[in-house]
Amino acid sequence: MTEAKTEAKRPTLNWMDVLWLAFLAGLAILPPEKEIHKQEILLAFGVVQLAEGWLVARWPARGPTCVVLWKIALATILIDHTGEPGINSSYYPIFYVPIVTAAEYFAPLATLLWTVLASAAYCSYLYPALQEYEVTEETYELLAIRILFFFLAAMVVNRYVVESRRQTRRYQETAETLAETNQRLEQAQAEARRSERLAALGQLSAGLAHEIRNPLGVIKGSAEMLSQKLGKSDPLATELAGYISSETNRLSGLVTRFLDFARPLHAELTPQDITAVVDRALSDVATLWKGAAVQVEKKYEPDLPLVALDETLCEQAFLNLVKNAYDAMSANGGRLRMKVAKSRFGERKGVEVRVEDTGPGIPRELREQIFNPFVTTKKDGVGLGLSIVSKIVDGHHGTIRIEDVGAGDGTGDGAGDEQQGAEHQRAGACFVVFFPAADGTAPVAGPAPLVIS
């Protein structure tokens, strides 16, 4: 009986309640008219009916139970004051009220139990009748018919209510599925638009880079020849020639990055363990890092599926992400979390890599454009690193997105350090990269270590 399932909260007073009161008033003016107890019981029925919605809304678990119990008690008392003996009362259909109420709120088994209780309450007046009257077989048959109609009404109403709830649940699930599908469609459209922009900018960058590289070579060669010719005879000119050469090298490096961005991907995809690629990227960045101390925390889920990836390109992508995280924490240091776990994107199974740092984070107004070329939060950045990462991930049929730190992890920063966890929730960036699993490959066996270096 504890399996009560309440419906939506009812209004305080609606037209159905008014109709209820009208029916009760009609019963009140029917015989026996001068039975004051009958009028009081019908009034109590009206009060319970009006208060039913409020009780169920306030106590969803216990409210339906209390309402059905009160209605059974009132129905039992009513037939005692409207018939002699009570089992012969013409008001016995009043028991349909608690039975239908139970069918409305409870599961089928609980509805049957409530109907048994209501039938027992009605049949309790059979014992006094046996003390004073002789009950014939026809009377027992009539009583059995009434009881069976109680159960029939309970099951019909309960079946309708259960089916209605099932349909409502099905509609809700359909609505949720449509909303999720629309969200994935919008995300796919956004990724398609971004890919188109990247392709157009890539072609433009390639053309410009080739046109710029040739003059840069001439400038650099001329500066080196001038420096060698002047030697120590003109220190100022030699120093200026050195400046020209160094800045030319910087521009040449920038042109190389443009070409890397514009160059078509030729990914050679083979099933591999993605954690090994992540570890190499972490090691490369840590080896060359000269800034403030950064604590690296790695958490890899066991039995990860193999991923079809190009080892060199994926390492470059993770290298860029890890380097960006280190740069974001260069001033005061911080913590870098690398989490690799099984995941699902739509109908595709795969592996998700989360790169979380405790730096200043990325402003929300830039998150939609952060993967576009020339968008950066660094003072001396060009804005091509994340564009290259996005291009590499797209070439592996994966996805990349930005989330709030801790949004996809229920563990937070540890139960013992709530204040530090709240700070990390407010700051930092979290890049989530999804790679689809390779078909027909065995998972990577191994433990799920939590490594802090």
What is the domain-level CATH number for residue 256? 1.10.287
Whether residue 60 sits in one domain with residue 125: yes
Phi (first) and psi of residue 304, to 5 degrees: -75, 140
* Sign of the alpha-carbon torsion through 12, 18, 19, 21: positive
Whether residue 210 sits in one domain with residue 96: no
Whether residue 258 sits in one domain with residue 274: no
174-198 pLDDT, tens digit each? 999 999 889 888 878 877 777 776 6
Strands 270-272 and 307-309, bridge-based pairing: antiparallel
Q: How far is CA 396 from the centre of its chain?
A: 25
Model confidence at 10, pLDDT cuts 50, 70, 90, reads very low
Whether residue 296 sits in one domain with residue 226: no
Please tell me the total count of domains within the chain. Answer: 3
- Tell me how far apart the alpha carbons of residues 237 and 243 are, in angstroms, rounded to a whole number: 10
- Tell me how far apart the alpha carbons of residues 76 and 78 are, in angstroms, rounded to a whole number: 5
- Tell me how far apart the alpha carbons of residues 187 and 183 are, in angstroms, rounded to a whole number: 6
Token pair 């109709």 in the structure block, residue: 19
Rg, C-alpha atoms of the chain:
38
Whether residue 288 sits in one domain with residue 256: no
Domain boundary among 246, 262, 278: 262
In this predicted structure, the answer to whether residue 119 has a pLDDT above a threshold of 90 is: yes
37-73 pLDDT, tens digit each? 888 999 999 999 888 888 998 998 899 999 999 999 9
Whether residue 343 sits in one domain with residue 369: yes
What is the 3-class SS of 349-377, one letter each residue?
EEEEEEEECCCCCCCHHHCCCCCCCCCCC
Q: What angle do CA 143, 145, 147 make, to 5 degrees?
A: 70
Residues of the domain holding 353: 270-452
Tell the burial category of 236 from Cβ atoms under 10 Å away from its Cβ (0-12, 13-18, 19+): exposed
Q: Is 167 a domain residue?
A: no
Model confidence at 263, pLDDT cuts 50, 70, 90, reads low
Whether residue 427 sits in one domain with residue 345: yes
Q: Is 145 a domain residue?
A: no
Q: Is 153 a domain residue?
A: no
Question: Mean of the per-residue pLDDT values for the chain?
Answer: 81
Model confidence at 13, pLDDT cuts 50, 70, 90, reads low
Domain boundary among 227, 262, 297: 262
Model pLDDT, residue 246:
81
Model confidence at 264, pLDDT cuts 50, 70, 90, reads low
Q: Taking residues 214-226, what's their average pLDDT?
A: 79
Q: Pick the residue with more confidence: 379 or 183?
A: 183
Whether residue 78 sits in one domain with residue 22: yes
Whether residue 234 sits in one domain with residue 277: no
* Sign of the alpha-carbon torsion through 326, 329, 334, 339: negative
Tell the burial category of 219 from Cβ atoms under 10 Å away from its Cβ (0-12, 13-18, 19+): middle
Model pLDDT, residue 206:
67
Model pLDDT, residue 4:
44
